Structure 1
Amino acid sequence: MANFLTILALTGNRLGGTLYQDYGKTRCSLDMSKKIVVSCEKCGSRNYSLPASSNKTTERLVLKKHCSHCNEHTLHRQTA
């Protein structure tokens, strides 16, 4: 009985937005979405990454999140 991932690799079929290749050894995502990285204003550490929204905004995202390095809630701003 053939392995399910082997069959997908040979046929090149898509399964859940992911293309399985190389007999199931490597997996390439077809949904390459951009990420927004936010960093702490106090210490500058980059603690969080969020998926980018589809609407195009010019202003940077500002969130109040917990910083594990400062051990308190601080403002986190979107980095470049």
Structure 2
Amino acid sequence: MRRLKVLIADDHRLMLHSIRLALQADEGIEIVAEVDSGKNVIPFIGQTGPDAGDGWVGGARANTRALSARAGRDALRR
């Protein structure tokens, strides 16, 4: 069975830890990166190629940039 590769990100260490603990309980999930800064999300997407992300830092704008980067398109700047 192929495991779902997940990048988790949150700027609160306790939340990041809690998300990791919850996801580690599922054998179908592989945590490929933990990020505690919004500026580091996009580089980690390129390095780890996650299938999904949880707890993105920085709100909708960061989500749009991260998804655009994952899709191979230029990140939106607005």
| Shorter-chain TM band | under 0.3
TM-score under structure 1 normalisation? 0.20
More strand by share: 1
More helix by share: 2
TM-score under structure 2 normalisation? 0.20
